[in-house]
Amino acid sequence: MSKMNELAYDIEQLYIEGLSAKQIAIELDCPIEIVLGAIAEMGVEDTGPAVSEGDAVFANMVRELQAG
């Protein structure tokens, strides 16, 4: 299975478990846009807490710091 297929599967499973897109992005350490795209492809809509622009900026900053 390719990395993207594995990620999509993981996103789907976490969504089924009840995590929001924001929680999934944090759990899998991936951009929120990828999570939202995967959820949209499932034909459902994220009903969890809204992701603010500030949250997205913060998540990007954390990823950049972790990358070195």
Q: Kindly report, residue by residue over 29-42, the tens digit of the pLDDT.
A: 999 999 999 998 88
- Looking at the structure of the chain, the number of domains it has is 1
User: What CA–CA distance (Å, rounded) separates 63 from 47?
Assistant: 25
Output the average pLDDT for the chain: 82
**Using one digit for the tens of pLDDT, what is the confidence trace for 12-62?**
999 999 999 999 999 999 999 999 999 988 887 665 555 566 666 676 677
User: What CA–CA distance (Å, rounded) separates 8 from 28?
Assistant: 11
Domain housing 49: 3-67
Pair of tokens at residue 15? 């969504």
Q: Is the pLDDT of residue 3 over 90?
A: no
Torsion angle, CA of 33/38/40/27, rounded to 10 degrees?
Answer: -60
Pair of tokens at residue 46? 């994220």
Question: Residue 11 — very low, low, confident or very high, per pLDDT cuts 50/70/90?
Answer: very high
